[in-house]
């Protein structure tokens, strides 16, 4: 159903927004590094202790001003509260099912596994460095990719000097592993 025909405060709107969140592929586990788990915990704590109380205060103040139908502070505050509550529910669900995997405990450091930082050269002679992390903690700006991404799946279990094939929409690409690093214990 198009969102143009649903009210934002309707249950259907909430279900649509939650369905838009990145789901876990069937049969996979929600692996996460200790640092990623801590980041999600910190975000949840910040939303619950800082953001939500501020918005509740604004909405309470705006509700006391009278007519709510044309009160922008009230309308946008309620919308922001729904967004915060939705994000908090999402974070709680994901933290419940998270399996913390500490890459520092990895014994076989000569192969690419979860938590590794991998430097490789692609078929266009570009040297790239990525870190393989959990689905919920992947950040492109930090060169952290989810372990289920095509690049990570191609790199997993490879060793320094190995050449692996990556299928892309532009055609196959080859990746040569130059360096594998794990965080220090």
Residue 122 near residue 168 (C-beta atoms within 8 A): no
- Average pLDDT, whole number, for the chain? 86
Cβ neighbours of 169 (radius 10 Å): 4
Radius of gyration of the chain (CA): 22
The confidence score (pLDDT) of residue 78 equals 93
In this predicted model, which residue has the larger pLDDT, 3 or 51? 51
Confidence of residue 57 (pLDDT cuts 50, 70, 90): very high
Model pLDDT for residues 2-32, shown as the tens digit of each residue: 444 445 554 444 444 444 446 677 777 889 9
- d(C-alpha 33, C-alpha 92), whole Å: 16
- Model confidence at 184: pLDDT above 80: no
Model pLDDT for residues 116-167, shown as the tens digit of each residue: 999 999 999 999 999 999 999 999 899 999 999 999 999 999 999 999 999 9
- d(C-alpha 151, C-alpha 30), whole Å: 18
């Amino acid at each position: 159903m198009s969102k143009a025909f649903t009210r934002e405060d309707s249950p259907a709107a909430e279900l649509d927004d939650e369905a838009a969140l990145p789901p876990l592929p069937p049969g996979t586990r929600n692996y996460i590094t200790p640092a990623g788990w801590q980041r999600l915990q910190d975000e949840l704590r910040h939303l619950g202790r800082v953001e939500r109380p501020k918005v509740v205060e604004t909405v309470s103040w705006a509700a006391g001003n009278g007519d709510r139908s044309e009160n922008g502070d009230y309308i946008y505050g309620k919308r922001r509260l729904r967004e915060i509550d939705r994000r908090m529910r999402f974070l709680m669900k994901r933290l419940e099912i998270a399996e913390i995997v500490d890459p520092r405990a990895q014994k076989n450091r000569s192969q690419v596994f979860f938590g590794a930082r991998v430097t490789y050269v692609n078929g266009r002679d570009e040297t790239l460095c990525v870190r393989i992390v959990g689905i919920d903690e992947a950040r492109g700006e930090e060169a952290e990719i989810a372990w289920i991404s095509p690049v990570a799946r191609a790199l997993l279990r490879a060793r320094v000097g190995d050449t692996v094939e990556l299928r892309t929409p532009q055609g196959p690409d080859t990746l040569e592993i130059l360096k594998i690093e794990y965080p220090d214990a």
